[in-house]
Amino acid sequence: MKFSLSIAVLLGLICLTSAKIYFQETFDGDWEKRWVKSTSKESENAQGKWEVSAGKFYGDAQADKGLRTTEDARFYQISAEYPEFSNKDKTLVVQYSVKHEQNIDCGGGYLKLMPAEGVDQVKFHGDTPYNIMFGPDICGYSTKKVHLIFNYKGKNHLIKKDIKCESDEFTHLYTLILRPDNTYEVQIDGKEVAKGSLKEDWDMLLPKEIKDPNAVKPADWVDDKTIPDPADKKPEGWDDIPKEIPDASATKPEDWDDELDGEWERPLINNPEYKGEWQPKSIPNPDYKGEWIHPLIPNPDYFDDDTLYLYPSNKFVGIEIWQVKSGTIFDNFIITDDVAEAAQFAELTLKTREAEKKMHDRLEEEKKAEEEKKAKEAATEVDTEGDDDDAAADADDDDNAATVDDDDAGDDDDDAKDADDDDNDATVDDDDAASKKGKDEL
């Protein structure tokens, strides 16, 4: 029993020590010495700039730093080198995280694994040869998928099925597992979203069968399902019904001149009783043989290949994308031959996802509270301005009232003056009367 247990432990240790990590990156330390930025788009003023950042929300400000795009409507091309390896007879695991913090509307988030030959890191661009392209691609509402493209004999082959990617603003982990039995698996956040066979889900191999070039559909082959009923007869009077008839509701214009305009005729309208051209009804064709199927023959050019998964040379990993809106963060890269090793490394991203969600929600609550506070303050200012306006209006009313009082006082003064004038006139009249009386007495 102890011997068996010891063997099991030993085998486990051997498995652990045999796991090979070809590349691993968390963007700490002097990352710029490990990555080479391409200059292929600088002459077009379209080369995007990179930075290392944890973004707006995160779990740990230092540990969650990743490679971030910073400029809108730019190309982003960057690559890192690692010791060349072959995945012959080995499982290949490619894993990394993507965070579209900017709520990306159109842009890539995929990476490329490249061979040693044909790669110039400084000039890395879209036509640089690659072995595998893997990761999310988003553009509008129609394109939200995971790219999985394999190069086979110099041609890039797209997967024939759709794999939906995540499109929110949080970190997501993308994992590709490629096995030497020509099977694959795609995981997002550690959960399987697609799997299958390279031979079935890609058109890398020629078809096993092709249409027989010598086969021709027989001349007497009947592939019409129905025929006109020879016993069906056209109803009497069918052709006597005109397609159009004069409009009975139309009236002759008052200014119509028969001598100048000719004889007036009612305009034509569609006849509601017209049934169209008569066609006999259809019945099943007794001679119908079914749809003719072109016979297949073995493809003389077909050959099977059990090494579809194999890439003898793997030496570079790169990001080569276009983004309309920048802000994507790439992090936690690992390329290994051990699924368990990748799963263990994935814990970094899974912890980040939990923590950043909490920080995001807290920031959103704070933002909402701040907006409500500003809205309340704005409403208070409006009320205060309203009170000030009311006070100003009351003051204007008081001023108007004072003006009215002053006007009334002025009117009283004028009345008093008029009364004085009347008194003065009366005095003059009295003096005149006394003077006349004195003259009369003399």
Answer whether residue 419 shows pLDDT above 70: no
Answer whether residue 73 shows pLDDT above 90: yes
The DSSP annotation for 196-248 comes to EEHHHHS--SPPSEEE-TT----TT----SEEE-TT--PPTTGGGS-SEEE-T
Answer whether residue 360 shows pLDDT above 80: yes
Answer whether residue 392 shows pLDDT above 90: no
Answer whether residue 345 shows pLDDT above 50: yes
In the structure encoding, which two tokens stand for residue 266, read together?
């009612």
Q: What DSSP character marks residue 44?
A: G
CB distance 322 to 75 below 8 Å: yes
* Interval 179-188 mean pLDDT: 98
pLDDT digits (tens, 9 = 90+) for 310-336: 999 999 999 999 999 999 999 999 999
Beta bridge partners of residue 309, listed in sequence order: none
* Interval 333-353 mean pLDDT: 94
Name residues whose C-beta falls within 8 Å of residue 323's C-beta, 6 or more positions apart in sequence: 48, 69, 72, 73, 74, 76, 104, 106, 107, 108
Percent of all residues in the chain with a pLDDT value above 90, rounded to a whole number:
73
**pLDDT class of 397 with cuts at 50, 70, 90:** low
Q: Measured between alpha carbons, how far is 316 from 111 in angstroms, rounded to an integer?
A: 10
Answer whether residue 431 shows pLDDT above 50: no
**Amino acid occupying residue 239:** D
CB distance 176 to 192 below 8 Å: no
Q: What is the pTM of this model?
A: 0.72
For CA atoms 303, 309, 310, 315, give the dihedral sign.
positive
pLDDT digits (tens, 9 = 90+) for 258-287: 888 899 999 999 999 998 999 999 999 999
Which one has a higher pLDDT value, 226 or 389? 226
Answer whether residue 387 shows pLDDT above 90: no
For the chain, domain boundaries: 18-208+307-368
Q: Which fold has domain 18-208+307-368?
A: Jelly Rolls (2.60.120)
pLDDT digits (tens, 9 = 90+) for 27-59: 999 999 999 999 999 999 999 999 999 999 999
Q: Measured between alpha carbons, how far is 100 from 359 in angstroms, rounded to an integer?
A: 16
CA dihedral 180, 184, 187, 190 (to 10 degrees): -30
The SS3 assignment for 392 reads: helix
Residue 48's pLDDT is 97
CA distances from residue 381 to 204, 369, 423 in whole angstroms, order as listed: 70, 18, 63
Smallest CA-to-CA distance from 323 within 26, 49, 87, 11 is with: 49
What's the chain's average pLDDT? 87
Smallest CA-to-CA distance from 125 within 234, 42, 236, 65 is with: 42
In the structure encoding, which two tokens stand for residue 71, read together?
């400029």
Q: What DSSP character marks residue 326?
A: -
